[in-house]
Amino acid sequence: MTLIADLTDLLGAAHVLTGGARAAYTSDWTGKYTADPVAVVRPADTAQVAGCVRIAAGHGVAVVPISGRTGLVGGTMTQGGLMISVERLNRIRDLRPDARIAVVEAGVVLDRLHAAAEAEGLYFPLWFGARGSAMIGGVLSTNAGGSNVLRYGSTRALCLGLEVVLADGQVLNLMSELHKDNSGYDLRDLFIGAEGTLGIITAAVMKLVPRPRAYATATLAARSLPDALVLLNRLREATGGAVEAFEYMPESYMRRLAEARPDIRQPFTPRQSVNILVEIGATAPRDAQPDAAGEIPVTALLQEVLATMMEAGMVLHAEIAQSEGQRRAMWERRELAAEITFARKPAIDTDIALPLDKVETFLTRIAARLPALDPGAEDLCVAHLGDGNVHYTVFPSRDDPVLHDQVVEAVEDEVQALRGSFSAEHGVGLSKRTSMARRKDPVALAVMRSVKAALDPYNRMNPGKIIPDLQ
C-alpha cells in the first residue's frame, strides 16, 4: 500500500491532508520559509502519533512535528516529509491544584492552560505574544522563553515530565511528577529544545505557581542601561524576587512603533532613549490587599523605589498603571514587537543572549560596525533586559544574501566576544544552522551528532534542523 493509504487506514481520510488541503501548513509565521510536505496528518492521541511514525519509517519518509506554527526559525519546514500536527492532542488530562501541576497534551494552546490554571487560583507562568496560538509541544520543543523568564525560568524550568514518541514508534514515558529524581540520566532535558529532531513530544507534566493577587506595572525612562540594571536589582531585593518582567524598549523601537501603529499612545513626549516596562507580581495578601487609604502595598513599594531613583537622577520619568486597562496598554506596546518588526522587509532578525551587564556594550559595538557593512541600514532592538535576551534586527538597504550573512556574522562576533549566545529563545531550526557551524563548540556538536545518531539512526526525525552538516 502507499504511504497515504496506510495513513488513511489509521486516521481516516479527514485527517490526512494532501494537495491544496495542506495550504495552511506550508508557510511559517514570518513568511520566510515554505514547505512542501507529502501530507499533513492530524492524529488524535499518542498511539496514533506512534502509528504515523511507524508508517512513515516503513516507507522511508521523514517526519516533522508541528503545533501552533508560530516559530521564527523555519523549524517545522520540510520538502517531501510527513508533517505530524499535534493540534488534536489537546486535552488537559489532569490539573491538581494541591500538587501545583497540570498534565497536558502537546496540542494544548498556551492561553487555554493559562485559563485552566487561573480557574484554580494558579498561574502557568509562560507568557509571550503568541500565547493565543502557540501550543505546549512547540514551546517545549524550542524551550521558549517570554517575558517572565526573570522570575520563573524558561519552559525547561517549568517541566517535570514528558511523553515522547521515538523514531521507531516506541513511546518513551518520562511523565514524572517529581521535583527530585536521581535515577540516572535526565532524559527529559534531551527532548526539550531539540525541535523534534530526537522525538515527538506528545504530553507533559507542567508546573503551576500561585497566581499573583496584584500587579504593580510601570513604564519608565532611565538615564542609561546601567542605571536600569541598578533599578532592577533594587526592585528584586525590595520585593524578594517578585519582579516578573523587565523589558527594554529604546527610542528607535518607540519611533518604529509610532510609524507602524500611530493609534498606540506613546508613554513620553519627547521620546526617551531608555524605556523600561517593569512588572511586579504580588502573591502574598499583605502585598496585594489595599490599605485604609485604598493603596495597594506592592504599588506603593514600586513608587517608593522609583522615587528614590528619580531623586538620584537615574530614573527620568515614570508612569504607573492605575487600572488593568492601563496595564494592558503598557503591555500592548511591548507585545507588538514581532508585528512591527516583520512588517518591514527585508529584515535580518537575531535572537541573542548576553550577560546582563554586557547588553549596552553589545549595542554600542554593533552600532559602530553596522555602517561599514551597509551605510544605509537601520536597526531595531527590543529586549527582555531582566534575563539578557536581546532581539536585534537590522533593516538592510538591499536584499542581499551575502550582506545578510555578513551582518549575522558581525552580531555573532560581538556576542561571542562578550560570552553570549547567538540563540536565546526562538530555537535554531534552519535559520541558525550556519551560526551553529561557526560558533558552537566542536566537541559539543560532536556529542549532539552522537545523540542524534543513537536515537534516530536513519535521520528521519525533522532532518536538517539544528545540527549543521559535516564539512
Tens of pLDDT, residues 2-24: 999 999 999 999 999 999 999 99
Render pLDDT for 128-169 as a digit per residue (tens, 0 to 9): 888 999 999 999 999 999 889 999 999 999 999 999 999 999
Burial pattern 26-57, b for ≥16 Cβ within 10 A else e, equals: bebebebbebebbbbbbbbebebbbbbbbbbb
The torsion defined by the Cα of 314, 318, 321 and 327, in degrees rounded to 10, comes to -80
Per-residue confidence (pLDDT) for residue 1, from 0 to 100: 67
- Residue 151 CB burial class (10 angstroms; 0-12, 13-18, ≥19): buried
What is the rounded average pLDDT of the residues 412-418? Answer: 98
pLDDT-derived band of residue 388, with 50, 70 and 90 as boundaries?
very high
Render pLDDT for 434-448 as a digit per residue (tens, 0 to 9): 999 999 999 999 999
Per-residue confidence (pLDDT) for residue 65, from 0 to 100: 97
> Which overall architecture, per CATH, does domain 344-433 show?
2-Layer Sandwich (3.30)
The torsion defined by the Cα of 175, 181, 187 and 188, in degrees rounded to 10, comes to 50
Given this structure, which CATH class describes domain 92-210? alpha beta
pLDDT-derived band of residue 29, with 50, 70 and 90 as boundaries?
confident
- CATH number of this structure's domain 214-337: 3.30.70.2190
Per-residue confidence (pLDDT) for residue 292, from 0 to 100: 85
Mean pLDDT of the chain: 95
Q: Where are the domains of the chain?
A: 3-85, 92-210, 214-337, 344-433
Render pLDDT for 236-261 as a digit per residue (tens, 0 to 9): 999 999 999 999 999 999 999 999 99
Render pLDDT for 334-347 as a digit per residue (tens, 0 to 9): 999 988 998 899 99
Per-residue confidence (pLDDT) for residue 30, from 0 to 100: 75
Per-residue confidence (pLDDT) for residue 237, from 0 to 100: 97
Q: Answer yes or no: CATH 3.20.20.70 is held by domain 3-85.
A: no
Per-residue confidence (pLDDT) for residue 60, from 0 to 100: 97
Matching CATH topology for 3-85 and 214-337? no
Render pLDDT for 357-374 as a digit per residue (tens, 0 to 9): 999 999 999 999 999 999
